[in-house]
Amino acid sequence: MRPLSILKRSALFSAICVLAPGTAAYGQSYDGAPEVHAQKGPDSSAVVDAAFDIHAAPSAVWSTLIDCTNATRFMPKLISCRVLQTGPGDRWEIREHRLKGGLFKPQMRNVFRADFTPDRKLSFHRIDGDWKTSEGVWTLSPIDGGRGTHVTYHTEVAVDGPVPEGLLQSAVAKGAPEAMEALRREVMSRAHGH
């Protein structure tokens, strides 16, 4: 029997959390390195799944995750974040990210819609920019009696133009743990008033 993929495990865990909120199906690992799995997706895209724990309540993680003004502090490749439009009830935004690119395109632009389920889920999908595909979801689940948060992240990205086999997958997989650790540091810094 084949083991469940990280995406199926994340979906299963999310279902368990919905049915039994506040219960954790695993022990928290606040200092553990993020688990990151990358694979080649359709049309030369890169698919990345990641999971890690933060020793802060989901509301603290959420307020950091949606903070466009200070996003460069916890997104290492981000140059700027701008909110272009806000939906009714602050349930969605259209955002523009400008990111450090590579040798052939030093800066990349990504315009996307972010849909919000406060303290639980942020999903996003590309509207315009240099990416051919850019979509994904952040999911926050309470652990440790609500004192901690289990964070899962799933994304699929692809750029326009020819990219050597595995290069995009490798770059995204390499950058993901750094971004996860930066988010964890920023949340903990805010939680302790630094």
Residues 71-129 pLDDT 10s: 999 999 999 999 999 999 989 999 999 999 877 678 999 999 999 999 999 999 999 99
Residue 78, in any domain of the structure:
no
Instruction: Please give the pLDDT value at position 155.
Output: 93
| Predicted pLDDT at 3 | 46
Q: Does residue 171 surpass a pLDDT of 90? A: no
| Percent of the chain whose pLDDT exceeds 70 | 79
Domain-located, residue 59: yes
Answer for the pair 100, 107: CB distance below 8 angstroms, yes or no.
Answer: yes
- Domain for residue 106, yes or no? no
Q: Is residue 52 one of the residues assigned to a domain?
A: yes
Question: Residue 134: inside a domain, yes or no?
Answer: yes
Is pLDDT of 24 > 70?
A: no
Whether the CB-CB separation of 4 and 12 falls below 8 Å is answered with yes
Average pLDDT over every residue of 42-58: 91
Best CA proximity match to 82, nearest among 73, 74, 70:
70
Residue 151 lies in a domain: yes
Per-chain mean pLDDT for the chain: 83
Residue at 74 is within a domain: no
Query: For residues 161, 137, 96 and 162, what is the CA-based torsion angle, rounded to 10 degrees?
Result: -10
- The predicted structure's pLDDT at residue 9: 41
To 10 degrees, what angle do helices 167-191 and 58-65 make? Answer: 120
In tens, the pLDDT along 175-185 reads: 888 999 999 99
Q: What is the CATH number of the domain that holds 13?
A: 3.30.530.20
Q: Look at residue 70 and tell me if it is in a domain.
A: no
Q: What domain range includes position 153?
A: 6-65+113-191
Residue 4's pLDDT is what?
43
Are 181 and 34 contacting, i.e. CB atoms less than 8 angstroms apart? yes
Banded model confidence at residue 163, pLDDT cuts 50, 70, 90: low
Q: In total, how many domains does the chain have?
A: 1
Q: Please, what's the largest Cα pairwise distance for the chain?
A: 49
- What pLDDT is stored for residue 161 in this prediction? 67
Give start and end residues of each alpha helix (H) in 36-161. 58-65
The partner residues of 123 in beta bridges, in order of sequence, read: 115, 137
d(CA 77, CA 151): 20
Q: What is the pTM of this model?
A: 0.81
